[in-house]
Amino acid sequence: MSSSIGITNVNRIYTDVDGNKVNALNDVSLDIRPGEFISIIGPSGCGKTTLLRLIAGLDKPQSGTLSIDESAITDVSPERGYVFQQGGLFPWLTVEDNIAYGLKARKVYKRNKDRVGKYVSMVGLDGFEKSYPHQISGGMAQRVAIARALINEPKALLLDEPMGALDSFTRADLQDKLLELWKQNGITMILVTHDIDEAIYLSDRIVIMTPRPGKISEIINVDLPRPRHRGGVEFLTMRKKILELFELAQALPEPEYMI
C-alpha cells in the first residue's frame, strides 16, 4: 500500500563548526502522490539528502510540516524505508540476516521469518543467503539494502543515491530491478540522485533544487512511455531540457552510457 507525502514550507538551518548559520532548505513545499516515483536532483550541497532525512524522520525542520497520509512525521518509522548511499550493511551478518535485521529489531521476526526468503528472491539473490557483504558485489549489496528496507512493507521507500558508486552496467541493471520492485510493491519511491539520465529513466516527476539555500526551482513531469530507451529521441530531448535548466547544456559530457 502506497502513501501520499506532504511537505509544506519546510526550513532547515544548521550551525557549522565555526558557528555560522547554514540555510540548507528554504521554504520547500512538495506534494507526492501515492505510488509515485519521484527523483530529486540538484548540485552538491543543495539539501537533497537533508530533505530525504526529514521525510524519513531522521531530522527535524526549524519550521514547516511533513506528513504521510496526512499524519505528521515526527520520528523514524518502518512505514518509511531508507536505503543509504553505501547500503549500510552489517559486515558481520549474512545476506539473509541483514535482510531480517529490521524484523528482529522490531521483535516480529518469529512470525515473519518466512518473508526473508521471499525478499531474497525478490531482489534476485537466491543462492547468496549465507554470503557476507565482503563476498558479494557492490550491486548485490545494494539489492540487500533495498530488500532490508522493503521487508518491513513500508508505504514509502527513500533512496539516497544508492547507485552512485556502481559502474555503469551494474547501475543500469539495478535501475531495472528497482523499477520491477516498484511495480510489484506499488509503493511510493523517492530517489536522491546526481544522475539526470537515471532520474529520467526511473521517474514520474523530477524535482530540481537550487544551490544553497535549497529551494525547488522546477518540477518536471516525465511523460515518456515505459519501458524507456536511454538513446531515444524523446529521452535525449528531455535530458537536454533539464541540462538547460541547470545552465549546463554545453558544459556536461554526453551520457555515461547508452543502452
Give tens-digit pLDDT for 152-210. 999 999 999 988 878 888 889 999 999 999 998 899 999 999 999 999 999 999 999 98
Angle at alpha carbon of residue 214, lines to 53 and 13, rounded to 5°: 65
pLDDT at 258: 47
Low-confidence ranges of the chain (pLDDT < 70): 1, 247-259
Count how many Cα atoms sit within 13 Å of the Cα of residue 224 in the half-sphere of its side chain. 24
> Would you state the pLDDT for residue 161?
92
pLDDT at position 250 is 37
Q: What is the pLDDT of residue 257?
A: 47
